[in-house]
Structure 1
């Protein structure tokens, strides 16, 4: 009986952990690399901010044509 209960708990833990993996999150390092690739510019600064339950990375970039832009990248896909 104890073995069956432990097995059920283990399976439930695996099911819950795989569900969390489905909600892919982007690190700030990944967000910076993405902005550099997409703009071809130089990142001047980066910060994270929270809006409700969502995290957003605000990345300030100097574009190739000399403009400063702020790009917002959501951490959750």
Structure 2
């Protein structure tokens, strides 16, 4: 059941991102992940793939699991 809640939260996270226009900062991505998952952020980094930027955010979930969530900087 917790796994389903986590999947639902991640789906909502990326669906909500579609409403944003332009590019978000790493700090905005961290705040978004905290708000949507209610998890503790352990670390965050920026990865560049050609013209695309991805924020990799490592979190500790409420049930004690470590997860990595990737958030695209381009939000359109």
Compute the TM-score of the two structures, normalised by the length of structure 1: 0.69
Higher helix share: 1
* Bigger relative contact order, structure 1 or 2 (CA pairs below 8 A, ≥6 apart): 2
**Residues 15-61 of structure 1, C-alpha deviations (whole Å, 9 max, x = no match):** xxxxxxxx611000000001101110100000000011000000000
Gaps of 5+ in 1: 1-22
The residue aligned with 1:20 is: none
How many pairs were matched up? 55
**Larger Rg: 1 or 2?**
1
Q: Secondary structure at the match of 2:64?
A: coil
CA RMSD of aligned residues (A): 0.9
> What stretches of structure 1 move > 2 A for 4+ residues in a row?
none
Matching of residues 24-43 of structure 1 within 5 Å: 24-43=22-41
Q: Distance in 2 between matches of 1:70 and 1:51?
A: 17
The residue aligned with 1:55 is: 53
